[in-house]
Structure 1
Amino acid sequence: MVEEILKEMIIYANGNKKDIAHFLKVHSYARLIGKLEQLDEKTQKILEIAAIVHDIACPLCRKKYGNSNGKFQEIEGPDLVYDFLKPFSLTDLEINRIAYLVGHHHTYENIDGLDYQILLEADFLVNSDEMNADNKTIAAMKNKVFKTATGIKLLEYIYE
């Protein structure tokens, strides 16, 4: 199922190579961190799907607001997730959790669950590279946000 959702999200991105590359990289990091942190199968599936669709609102936000600011994505994303995931064999609870994660993937407080934690870490790993984050920003995120042993090690291996 995850592979089918990946394929559909690539189609949904309508040729935007930057968006496609971004969610593929976030999914890859999220999958890796989740596996190495030994998530249970259900949480791993939710994490991976959330990583694929986390920026589903970017095209709409660019059109509606003129940019894809994270807070706009959090506002617009959940409704898009519900529509996008309807055709797949997911429970309402799974879709609700995925929509929640998409609606909070730029919120670094009140993190409730390893799926949420890992999604933040995976997205930051990719965003740091794409936005050429400075050492001060990376160090602050490491100290304030990163919690998983795997995420911390990846951050250190890549940026230190």
Structure 2
Amino acid sequence: MYKIAASLVLLSIVAASWAYTDCGSEVGTISDVEVSDCVEGKRCILKRNTNVTLKIIFTPKGDSDTLKAVVHGEILGVPMPFDLPNPDGCKDSGVTCPLKAGQTYTYINALPISPHYPRVTVDVKWELQLSNDEDAACAKIPAKIA
């Protein structure tokens, strides 16, 4: 019985060890963040020349006609913008605008990892901004480009 309990605790630590941090969701709350192929280790491994799928479940505190995704990679505290093919959070992301306060939404988007990106340790900061440019969701995900 002890071994089973210890195994479950260890498994939960491994599964949660890459966990995101809320980096300033000003006008919303995050329920969950999932990153494809990110299941173990302290950092998500982002393989160059692939796409990573990100899912953020969030609830805005205010209404909004728009939702914009803004993504940065922070290397040694310096933000470097990631270009998203689709920064419009109301288009092809699973979210339909206008957004209503208190309703939970599931946002899904892909981040292309360019083959030209350097192999570095990076914190990915993914913001979902309402029409007033305030963050309904801001998730920081520890990662490494490999």
| TM-score, normalized by the shorter chain, greater than 0.5 | no
TM-score (norm 2): 0.30
User: Higher strand fraction: Structure 1 or Structure 2?
Assistant: 2
Which of the two has higher C-alpha Rg?
2
